[in-house]
Amino acid sequence: MALFFLSSKQKARLKEAENARRNRAEIIKAWSQGQITRRELVKWGLITAGGLWVPIHGLSPFAKSTFGTIPTGAPPSPLYGCQPFSQPMYRFDVLPRNQNPFQFLKPAPTAEANTKQQLLDPRLEGVKSGDTGPIEGRPPGPIWAHQDFNTLRPKIAVQVTQEGAKTNMTYNPGVPSYLNSGINPATPIPVKFHPQWPTQDPLKVWTFNGTIPPKLLIGRYGEPILFRHYNKLPYDIKQNGGFGRHTISTHEHNGHHGAENDGFTGAFFFPGQFYDYHYPIVLAGLKTINTTATDRRAGSPNDAGGITKVPGDWHETMSTHWFHDHMFSFTSQNVYKGNAGMFNIYSSLDRGAEDINDGVNLRLPSGRASVSGKSWGNLDYDVNLMLADKAFDADGQLFFDIFQDDGFLGDLITVNCTYKPYFEVERRKYRFRILNGAVARFFKIALSDGSPMIQIANDGNLLPRPVTLTQLDEMGIAERYDIVIDFSRYSIGQRVCMVNLAEHLHGRKPFNTLSLAEALSGSSLDPSVGKFLEFRIVRDPAQPDISQVPDTLIPNPDLSGIPVVRERTFEFGRDAEQTSNDLVTAGDGPWGIATDKGAFLAANFGRVSAAPRFGTREIWHLKNDGGGWDHPIHIHFEECQTLARDGKARNVPAAERGRKDVWRLRPSSDVTITLQFRDFAGMFMQHCHNTTHEDFAMLLRWEIDDKGGPYVRPLPTPIPRPQGVQFQDPDETITPL
Ligand SMILES: [Cu+2]
């Protein structure tokens, strides 16, 4: 919005809104830096216990006296005169994979956390000069040791840092420049969301390796990865640019692995430490199904174009994951700041080589092994897209407002950390792995010409059958949809856009689903609807498109022979109570979860809300207690099957009939799922993936007991400190055990 078009009254209101934003930013800063607590804000009357911000001193973003614009509640982000689709989209930056982790990593990885002591930086909270602490932040001892570390021994090492924004000098898109809109990867990439916008301050943007584009981890079944994550964020908790927390916990969403690798919200680590995550990359059921590895469909691509068979159920094969921060109460701020990457997992079925025709490979669009020399993992026609809405302050720096406990929304859509980019494509089929990486925004995707897309995967999982759609389902935060678009129907020189139809006026839920014409008209109050990514059809492919989208992808596992030992109900709603005063483990906020018809409780990672028995199967009912909001609910650990929506199997849309790990809990609706607890143990989580709701306490801990013992032994809760993690008994256990 250009200021000179406004009346003097409007200008005055805009100034008032800017002042209100600055006032809010001061309090957010103090809160994020640990100087005040949410409880103190309630006490001072700045927010109500119900979570609504009191409209005093222009503090409430939506109070009538301010000119807070939709959807940020702040003045519009400055565009510096830039037009949409004036910059190329960066493809993801592929993380280097290193052989021989035990030689490559110094020090070598260990099953239990490495507790070698180092001198601590006194700028860390609670640290005195001369204090020492462990070099690894993982909780120590056998409970947090890597499960099956010797049988699933790491073969690949990936080493990353978390740090402030800096120029990328080592960009590797994994494809030649002509498949990356002509971008020369040797050109240094500063952290800018558009070339004409200011470079982001290192305190405002914290990413993997400190750089953009976002990072892509490449893995394959049967080849465990040791992911060593160094925390290089500022030691001083106040050096955060006003939002974000310098302690982190990295969740591989939705890894089937031990809890020590899951980024448990309370297993966070400090600047100056690393954390070793062991990603075994195994098929669920590996200890009970196909244990001798005789089925080629349960397999991994080898380097010669063949298959290495692995144990487990091939119906549990996964493809598109992502990884992101899970810091207790600060996930939304940290992910928004840049703590998010994607993870492509390759298998004998989903090979990433469309020309290998062996009766197992599904030959999905990717690229040819015979051209690249890579027998798996070709990215030529397989493109990761991370969607996220962002907002910027008057200086063009990233802006975040946690005053909105309904969910923070940005007014500008970015794809792979670039504002409304274009992407050059050839006249052939492409696979797009779309991630909703927003804080609180839902997307509903269509093409600007209304033509069809083929959805092949939902979350990490290829669907039983592909589903052709002209509009994808509304996509909740953290959901992944893999789609295929066939650009051969266009002619060279044509352009077609991805369009967002989901209109938000606030973070509680989408306000409206627009028609394609409405979304394209520009008449919505929400500037984030409409076109957000432009495809430019630039040429014919050098080789004919031999990729396929077979009628059968991955059928669901057959669970009919596995008894259901228990059903549980989790209801998601507002006005939750907090039963604990623990300053470390207990969260604050209006949102909460009621377990088995109990009270709505705000998150406390010292509380065990469910403890399913190892080796069993259960049915879980997820319910939304009201019509005013929409919660994308994520269950960690193992993919689930959706049995019903609102009580009926036929209400489950075709594109949701595979396995999933996030379910949109539409207003006043419920979903019935079934899941198993096998192969690994430990403490996991379930939460709303509107990360504002999650941080304002819609999260619970559940754990898998100690492998089938006669009674459950709740695990001790980790309490991280720079001097070393301490343990305490769980505060309470909700479920009668
Ligand atoms: Cu929610």
pLDDT band per the 50, 70, 90 thresholds, residue 56: very low
How far does residue 526's CA lie from ligand 1's centre (Å)?
Answer: 20
How far does residue 508's CA lie from ligand 1's centre (Å)?
Answer: 7
How far does residue 53's CA lie from ligand 1's centre (Å)?
Answer: 18
How far does residue 573's CA lie from ligand 1's centre (Å)?
Answer: 8
Tell me what pLDDT residue 405 has: 78
pLDDT band per the 50, 70, 90 thresholds, residue 51: very low
How far does residue 324's CA lie from ligand 1's centre (Å)?
Answer: 18
How far does residue 102's CA lie from ligand 1's centre (Å)?
Answer: 41
pLDDT digit string (tens) for 514-545?
A: 999 999 999 998 999 999 999 999 999 999 99
pLDDT band per the 50, 70, 90 thresholds, residue 1: very low
CB of 53 within 8 A of CB of 377?
Answer: no
How far does residue 276's CA lie from ligand 1's centre (Å)?
Answer: 30
In terms of pLDDT, which residue wins out, 572 or 5? 572
How far does residue 671's CA lie from ligand 1's centre (Å)?
Answer: 14
pLDDT digit string (tens) for 112-150?
A: 999 999 999 999 999 999 999 999 999 999 999 999 999
For residue 635, is pLDDT > 50?
yes
How far does residue 304's CA lie from ligand 1's centre (Å)?
Answer: 46
How far does residue 399's CA lie from ligand 1's centre (Å)?
Answer: 22
User: Beta strand 616-624 with 564-573: parallel, antiparallel or unpaired?
Assistant: parallel
The average pLDDT across 620-648 equals 95
How far does residue 604's CA lie from ligand 1's centre (Å)?
Answer: 17
Share of the chain above pLDDT 90, in %: 83
CB of 305 within 8 A of CB of 375?
Answer: yes
Please return the burial class of 425, using the count of CB atoms within 10 Å of its CB with bins 0-12, 13-18 and 19+: buried
How far does residue 360's CA lie from ligand 1's centre (Å)?
Answer: 39
Tell me what pLDDT residue 734 has: 78
The average pLDDT across 69-93 equals 91
For residue 388, is pLDDT > 90?
yes
pLDDT band per the 50, 70, 90 thresholds, residue 712: low
Tell me what pLDDT residue 506 has: 85
DSSP state of 32: H
For residue 264, is pLDDT > 50?
yes
How far does residue 534's CA lie from ligand 1's centre (Å)?
Answer: 30
Measure the CA dihedral 138/142/143/149, to 10°.
Answer: 80
How far does residue 628's CA lie from ligand 1's centre (Å)?
Answer: 11
How far does residue 565's CA lie from ligand 1's centre (Å)?
Answer: 28
How far does residue 690's CA lie from ligand 1's centre (Å)?
Answer: 5
Q: Please enumerate in sequence order all residues whose Cβ is within 8 A of that of 40, keeping only pairs 6 or more positions apart, or say none.
A: none
How far does residue 706's CA lie from ligand 1's centre (Å)?
Answer: 31
How far does residue 236's CA lie from ligand 1's centre (Å)?
Answer: 31
Q: How far apart are CA 483 and CA 465, in angstroms?
A: 12
Tell me what pLDDT residue 12 has: 67
pLDDT digit string (tens) for 314-350?
A: 999 999 999 999 999 999 999 999 999 999 999 999 9
How far does residue 664's CA lie from ligand 1's centre (Å)?
Answer: 9
Q: How far apart are CA 565 and CA 613, in angstroms?
A: 9
Q: How far apart are the first and last CA of the chain?
A: 58
Tell me the CA distances in angstroms from 430 to 89, 183, 353, 452, one per residue in order: 15, 19, 13, 13
Residue with tokens 């143990």: 681
pLDDT band per the 50, 70, 90 thresholds, residue 47: low
How far does residue 14's CA lie from ligand 1's centre (Å)?
Answer: 30
Measure the CA dihedral 715/721/723/728, to 10°.
Answer: -30
The average pLDDT across 675-699 equals 95
The average pLDDT across 235-240 equals 96
Tell me what pLDDT residue 116 has: 98
